[in-house]
Amino acid sequence: MRTNTKRIWTPARIGIYAFLLTAAAFFLLPLYIMLVTSFKSMEEIRLGNIFALPMHMTVEPWRQAWSTACTGVACEGISSGFWNSVAITLPSTLLAIFLGALNGYALSFWRPRGSQLLFAILLAGAFIPVQVMMFPLVRVLAVLNIFSTLPGIVLVHVIFGMPIMTLLFRNYYLGIPQELFHAARIDGGGFFRIFVQLMLPMSLPMIVVAAIMQVTGVWNDYILGLVFAGREHLPMTAQLNNVINTTTGTRMYNVNMAATILTALLPLAIYFISGRWFVRGIAAGAVKG
């Protein structure tokens, strides 16, 4: 109920705030525990309470997580995974956006024969479990000699990101008046010239939304990186899982939590900085699907 009355402390309003604050506490709890744990020493963790603040703050776990924690065989921390993820995310995002914009442009202005059907199949592709396409893709990449390489994993991300990217740009371009396009054609613009000189500059708001979606999506991916990236280019998420789930002996909970925060840092930063854009992005990608 949206009332326009002044805020008075009725029992109902107290109830509303009680519910919201309880919920907020539940949602914040893991973040709080991650943070306090990452600043504790192992002795303190073994003896202390999971909810307690650290008695002696130490940044040692963070240093270890970044540069000495063991990810399977190597013990160089997850910094290499960070740079792998950067190397995977950057080209995957740029390429997927460029191709998505190109597809969307072709679908909304040029409308080649059969494009509706192609578009429908492409969209359905967004919902297909990756396992269905995984092994054939492994074979294709192996034949192309790019399995377990950087170009290989980038290609896979571009393929799986294509449906949403195309959808975003198609819907965006549908909102641009056709007259503008016709005028450009009369002025002698070709397919690519109109795209590069007219459409791309106009699509800046959509490019931002698409970039947010693709960057967080690729950064948070685990399964594709695990299968296609190969040991040399394992993304941060996969290394993180190795750090925590394959260590023998005592578990370094403080290091683990620091590593987890480090891995989540980039998408969280994007979320907090971009705010409304992030919500708009997921909503645009989701609602119209």
Report the site for other proteins in 142-201 (rule: CB under 8 A). Answer: 159, 162, 166
Note whether 207 and 101 are within 8 A (CB): yes
Among 59, 74, 75, 279, binds other proteins (CB under 8 A): 279
Note whether 13 and 7 are within 8 A (CB): yes
**Cβ 233 to other proteins shortest distance, Å:** 17
Note whether 111 and 174 are within 8 A (CB): no
**Cβ 109 to other proteins shortest distance, Å:** 14
- Span from 73-81, 136-144, 174-182, 198-206 in contact with other proteins (CB under 8 A): 136-144
Note whether 173 and 135 are within 8 A (CB): no
Tokens, residue 27? 């949602």
Of the pair 44, 60, the CB lying nearest other proteins is at 44
Among 57, 74, 120, 196, binds other proteins (CB under 8 A): 120
Among 10, 14, 17, 193, binds other proteins (CB under 8 A): 17
**Cβ 169 to other proteins shortest distance, Å:** 11
Of the pair 93, 187, the CB lying nearest other proteins is at 93
Size of the site for other proteins (CB under 8 A): 86
**Cβ 48 to other proteins shortest distance, Å:** 8
Among 88, 95, 97, 137, binds other proteins (CB under 8 A): 137
Using the structure block, give the residue that is written with the tokens 């919201």.
20
Of the pair 46, 182, the CB lying nearest other proteins is at 46
Distance of alpha carbon 272 from alpha carbon 147, whole angstroms: 35
Backbone φ and ψ of 71, nearest 5°: -110, 85
Instruction: Name the 3-class secondary structure at 122.
Output: helix
- Span from 15-23, 176-184, 193-201, 202-210 in contact with other proteins (CB under 8 A): 15-23
Note whether 256 and 181 are within 8 A (CB): no
Does the footprint of other proteins cover residue 248 (CB under 8 A)? Answer: no
Does the footprint of other proteins cover residue 250 (CB under 8 A)? Answer: no
Among 59, 75, 121, 183, binds other proteins (CB under 8 A): 121
Tokens, residue 139? 């074979």
Of the pair 28, 183, the CB lying nearest other proteins is at 28
Cα 252 to chain centroid distance, Å, stands at 27
By CB under 8 A, what part of segment 72-91 binds other proteins? Answer: none
Instruction: Tell me which long-range contacts 187-194 makes (C-beta under 8 A, separation of at least 24).
Output: 191/106, 191/110, 194/109
Strand partners, 74: 71
Map residues 206-245 to x or -, x wherever contact with other proteins holds by CB under 8 A.
Answer: ----------x--xxxxx---x---------xx-xx--xx
Note whether 122 and 248 are within 8 A (CB): no
Tokens, residue 197? 């000189």
